Structure 1
Amino acid sequence: MADNNVKKMLGKVFNDIADAIETGQFGRKVRVGITTLGSEHGVDNIVKGAELAQEKDKSMEVVLIGPKVDTNLEIVEANNEEEAHKKMEKLLDDGDIQSAVTMHYNFPIGVSTVGRVVTPGKGKEMFIATTTGTSSPHRVEAMIKNGIYGIITAKAMGIKNPSVGILNVDGARKVESALKELNENGYEINFTESIRADGGSVMRGNDLLVGTPDVMITDTLTGNLLMKIFSSFTTGGSYEAMGYGYGPGIGEGYERTIIILSRASGVPVVANAIQYAADLAKGNIVQTAKEEFNKAKKAKLDEILKNLKNKDKGTSEDTEEITPPSKEVVTGSISGIDIIELENAVRTLWKNGIYAESGMGCTGPVVMVSEDKLNKALEVLTKAGYTTKESDPC
């Protein structure tokens, strides 16, 4: 009996050495758990994806969490989704697995996920920040945090200085202004330029298709929609066949590496999500997050967010009646103002004795003023925080 045990131990040692030589990974393998219940395509769909991921990458071990099935993979048995999530969390907290992949999982407020897609224009990978969860109940604050979450994820994946763009959705200009302030305070952000002739770090739909930035910042609902389109536009929508899933939940103080899949995710996406989870664990995303949050806080992130919300509160309560100055011909335009602040920007100019009207230019909302008052108006709006001294020509 003792001889048999020794033989088994020696056999395992030699197998581990052989695996290390084959993969170049010496030491303990990264272990990734995946819950198998909840897919619209059945348990077998998840198991096949897990087996494919394991076959492709011998430097990790895939652990199934769910009902017993016929497979060579390790199984931690669970009879329903609730039980599977509890066992998944325990395996993570005990260090038995380093990351996990699951479906229909609720994160606390402040945590949201960074998806990873392959863009159709040039086949470039892009991180979408974010795709599920809620970074903050305040839309603009959430998008600012989403940007940091995207940078964290990209850095954990080995991109040292990821390029960042902000999708042209409501709140984009305020997000841009806040992130540029953060950058000026010492938190380095590598803003990219749109491929469109007018450039700028606010991204158009064209930039989505070619993957202009490494990290595309957007609100979570839009990000979720983009993930579904990118992953299933070739299949009609019911089967997500492309990409790496909805990504890891990121948030200050959150230390579990949990990657989200859609219930519509097919075998290729399941396999890719597991690989994504393994790579994030290897890149030590938890430590990366701590470092990035510390740097952002040193650059006055909390103060920027507080001022943003105080300003919004003041704006919403400002019911003062303002009589506009005498009407003038307005042919000068100021862009770069978020649509949700457009009317407030006009009122601010009226307060300062400058007649203005709101309008919509080819790249978004604009404030229209007299040509001879353009510079003065821009100065007033910049001081009030509605725009930077940049303009987007048509």
Structure 2
Amino acid sequence: MDFKETIQFIQEKFKSKDFIPLHNPIFEGNERKYVMDTLDSTFVSSVGRYVDRAEEMISQISQTQRAIAVVNGTAGIQVALRLVGVNPGDEVLTQALTFVATANAIQYNGAQPVFLDVDYDTMGLSPRAVSEFLEEFGERRETGTFNRKTGKRIAACIPMHTFGFPVHLDELMKLCRDWNIPLIEDAAESLGSEYRGKPTGSFGKVGVFSFNGNKIVTSGGGGMIVTQEEEIGILGKHLTTTAKVPHAYEYFHDQMGYNFRMPNLNAALLCAQLEQLSYFLDRKRRLAAEYSTFFESQGIIFRKELENTKANYWLMCVELGSLEDRNFFLEKTNGKKVMTRPIWQLMYRLPMYDHCQRDAQTNAEFLEQRIVNIPSSVTQEYQLVNSK
């Protein structure tokens, strides 16, 4: 297979034989109006009405009690870990098949990741892998769950909804309850995705979204922490705004905080993007359906949502037959200016994480050799005509 038909299909779909990016943002709503409003108001930094409005919008979209706007998703995970009680020297269960930010945020807290396998169907953290690890290494104590091999406390579990496909949350949540391990959803890629009719990010003790420039909605840079627990939300807002105690003029900070506030300028862009979220989701699902039909005709697996889930199809992907097929596909598509990218290298292949405890990674290594992301922007024929 030379993938000529695939390249032609994508070029026709995006109406271009020039460079076709992986995921291009669309600014066809109130973005310019809201950003100019912040400039006119002079409130462009971390105080302004768009920050409050963005938090309210995300709280409604994610069906959570509180949302805290932050500078990016990585910072959000870093703070989320602290909010659930992760301390230096602790361990956090997560997946090796993820973007590096997940592991980095753990290490920023002085903790260490333990890498467990993913499920083949979700490409996200496997409940079976977590269960097998805890049965072999877990030890329940009055002060929490500990790793018998290392003696360290297992202070949290972070599944990541890979490319917007929800993990098997029911099983993971039950395991975390049984072992008294807080669950944090790395929902950076899954805004708009659902599991059994509920939004991702709303299941864990804390959830975190990202609004980087390539996400389904963007604020240029930015993220959001969400939670169902009011006290966690209040503490999260306090910590991310330098832990400053409110006062008319005094500067008193009652603990180590972070200057992780989202600027009002970015929040204005985010509000305009969030107004179009349902539109983006609908158009991306149409593109996914067309991709699915096309790749089925080519004998190539196109990754689709599972029963009882709804994926946002942030980055769409295909599964090739082998590492050689994957590399050939990458070479041919990129050679024709159609941007495609392999899934991430597994975290334990990186020098700063090669010492971390891990399991066999059977599914993760299989997927690492076969999964490729393909152009996933809303295509031109579906773009919204700006009538506002």
TM-score range, shorter chain: under 0.3
Return the TM-score normalized by structure 2. Answer: 0.27
- Which structure has the larger Rg over C-alpha atoms? 1
Return the TM-score normalized by structure 1. Answer: 0.27
Q: Judging by fraction of residues, say which structure has more helix.
A: 1
